[in-house]
Structure 1
Amino acid sequence: MMLVHSIKERTKAQKAEAEKKKVAEKEQDKKPKENKLVPNQGNDLNMENYSLGQSLQEKVISIVISKRDQGDWWKSLLKGDPETDTQKAKPDPSKLSDLDLETCSFVEKMMFDQRQKQMARPTSDETQKQQLMNQFMAQNPSMMNFPGANLM
């Protein structure tokens, strides 16, 4: 009888241990995994060097890869693929806001000068020269007593 009693206790203990293990596994599943990322609302992952998006309906995965040098065209995505004739590629029109400050200032000056020429008005360089000449004449009135001299 003692043997039957000890077998029943051992079986009871094993069942209790198995039950504890199941509860522990369920609790573990509820905890977020440290090395797994949670997708955003669009089911996308935005990584440092790429974005990954997917849906269940399409069975299509769309991958966006950012270029290191955005001034160069890629001839192909994968090695061995047919190459694109990059000489015939047409870039999107640039916006002034995409340019650095120095380039933006230069382009704005060119646009201003072009409008001024169309209206038969002085360009920014011509206006600056005229202002310098007026300043020089104001500081040196005795130099302007040369009749018929063209100082421009």
Structure 2
Amino acid sequence: MTEEKFDAILFSMAQQMPGGVPDLLDVLFGFLARKTDFYSGAGVDEARSLLLKYFEKHGKEAIEKAAENKRRKEEEERKLAAKRAAQKAREEEEFRAQTSGAGKIEEISDAEAAEFEKKHISLACVYSGEQHVVSASEDAETKKNEVEKSTEDEDEEDKNKLRPNSGNGADLENYQWTQTLQEVEVRIPFKVGFPLKSRDLEVTVEKTHLRVALKGHPPVIDGPLFKEIKTESSAWVLEDKKVVVISFEKMNGMEWWRYLVEGEPEINTKKVQPENSKLSDLDGETRSMVSRLLFHTSSCRINCFALF
């Protein structure tokens, strides 16, 4: 007999039980007492023995499976932690190699700096905490243009987009997602009348697709992701036996996502408010470019002060 084929029925019953599993057991034994000869047929002692037989059978299987799942999850978390530690060590080593010694600093021309500023000034602002120095009149004119452009954009292409939540993602009807430039976190609360276990859930995290469902029920999330992710960095946990928390790294760690999966409302990425990050958080190439720009900016300021 295939036991799984009754899972949907039993899940549906359990969801209607305010007390969860105890209420479900009460209903099942009540049914056996009212509608069968489970107790009276062969006697109460025989019924108890039969009950314990299957209790021990499935209890042993459940304990072994839980232990195996725990061992596998711990091993996956250990490998993931080791990989992240190794990656961080490599990035720190690259950063030290690029910034160690004044003789290794590469100066750039004014033309190169201007071109870089045009393309990457936003990165320098986000990751260095430096402020772009402009005259009062230039600053006022820039702000005026920004306000006009923001109003125009809001009226046209962004008027139907959501304002990002405090985590630069979105709070939707069935789940919440947040993001940094490098990572995404998804929180899916399940409103059921019993404590959830990992085996009650179906969570599939693929390079371009995410699916999350309670077994026997329609999925809460099931669709193509905004962009590709690093599946080897993905992980999920069951929080408080009712909330699924999924995290993973973006393949492109320098882009804000407009949505999590296709078909969901988009957020206005122009209103994203990134926190200041460390320069070491950048990839090697971008970090080197930002370092060169900051060095050039610092040199310009020193030269300007020297004129007075």
TM class by shorter chain equals 0.3 to 0.5
TM-score, normalized by length of structure 2?
0.24
Structure number with bigger Rg: 1
Name whichever structure is richer in strand by fraction. 2
Question: How high is the TM-score relative to the length of structure 1?
Answer: 0.43
Higher relative contact order (CA 8 A, sep 6+): 2
